[in-house]
Amino acid sequence: MTETHRVKADPASALSVPGSALSKTHSGPGAMEFSTVSSYKDAINRWNGKPYYSLDCYLKDVFHEKIYKLAIDGGFTCPNRDGTLGTRGCIFCSEGGSGDFAARRGQSFDDQIREGKKLLKGKNTGNRYIAYFQAYTNTYAPLPRLRQVYFPAARHPEVAAISIGTRPDCISPEIGDFLQELSYIKPVWIELGLQTIHEDTARRIRRGYPLSVFEEALGILSERNIPVIVHTILGLPGESPEDMESTARYLASQPIQGIKPQLLHVLQNTDLAELYEKQPFHILTLEEYTDLLIRCIEVLPPNIVIHRITGDGPKSLLIAPTWSGHKKYVMNYIHKTFKDRQTWQGRRFPQ
């Protein structure tokens, strides 16, 4: 591979982008560099009309066009479901392995890209996509199998970047080396489902690994300059607003490049749904969720990309909260609340 190709495809090629979340200077705690944002108005001007550094804004910074994600099913399973750690998975996880929107299992990568594009019909999508390996644990396989899945994906002409959802206990130094090799072809992001930093909650939701394992995975990935996006859930049973904010504060100090906060959804056919039926627990209202989300975003540094501000679980499976099905209304409400409060990402960072 020529040096020109390598530099072009390396995720760190975004180095020159102001506020880029892929900068090599972000590779370790205390090494982050960014210019501060001083007001709501400043944030809106900086981040294309939003008071936080959204994925949309980031993609335009880096790729200079709007790029959609296509959910790809790589045919993997999960150690928390195949009996290695457990068989019932995390208590909130639906049968689709948190990939209920993914294209059909068993289809070739090319077919899945074609099908995914059809679902975007009518949208102005441009020519390139992010291949998002979403369902289950997408580094949970021997290396030859990972090579078989990811090399063709990285070489696909319409793939701009690859996003891989996985568990921290499925990141080893060898897998880190493989991901680094892959990143010489196309940018590679790793999405880690952390959900919370609190060990008692982690046990309650049956996550299956302690925080120290997350930190080890982060070390492996940051040493290799692989950007990490962390999934968190707001509204887990037993967590106080302070608990949720402390997860965000902790992540603000870690070498991560993106965060995906999500509202807790109770979905059909999950153990969470069973628990909810037997011992109903408090489900966040839209107002409570918005307040918590804003509190969390305020403590994050301005260079961390906010990949979403609310998840939208499949409507056909959604038990609660039903308000979350009205995505447009929810987004408008959250943005209006930011404006009413004149607040923005990083307003309370550093803490």
| Sign, CA torsion 138/228/42/25 | negative
Torsion angles phi and psi, residue 145, rounded to 5 = -70, -40
Q: Given the complex with ligand SF4, which of 65 and 95 has the nearer CB atom?
A: 95
Q: Given the complex with ligand SF4, which of 98 and 183 has the nearer CB atom?
A: 98
- What would the two tokens of residue 42 be? 């400043």
Q: Given the complex with ligand SF4, which of 137 and 180 has the nearer CB atom?
A: 137
Buried b (16+ CB within 10 A) or exposed e, 4-29: eeeeebbbbebeeeebbbbbeebbee
Integer Cα distance of 236 and 139 in angstroms: 26
x-or-dash pattern for ligand SF4, window 244-283, by CB under 6 A?
----------------------------------------
CB of 98 to ligand SF4, least distance (A): 5
Can you tell me which of 22, 71, 93, 284 binds ligand SF4, judged by CB under 6 A? Answer: 93
Can you tell me which of 20, 134, 137, 310 binds ligand SF4, judged by CB under 6 A? Answer: 137
Can you tell me which of 9, 32, 78, 194 binds ligand SF4, judged by CB under 6 A? Answer: 78
Can you tell me which of 90, 103, 185, 220 binds ligand SF4, judged by CB under 6 A? Answer: 90
- What would the two tokens of residue 304 be? 């961390």
Instruction: Please list the helix, strand and coil fractions of the chain in percent, rounded to the nearest 5, in that order.
Output: 40, 15, 45
CB of 270 to ligand SF4, least distance (A): 10
Rg from Cα positions in the chain: 19
Question: CA dihedral in degrees (322, 324, 326, 331; nearest 10)?
Answer: 160
CB of 178 to ligand SF4, least distance (A): 20
Q: Given the complex with ligand SF4, which of 60 and 206 has the nearer CB atom?
A: 206
Can you tell me which of 23, 98, 112, 183 binds ligand SF4, judged by CB under 6 A? Answer: 98
Are the CB atoms for 165 and 193 separated by under 8 Å? yes
**Residues near ligand SF4, by CB under 6 A:** 78, 80-81, 89-90, 93, 97-98, 136-137, 167, 193
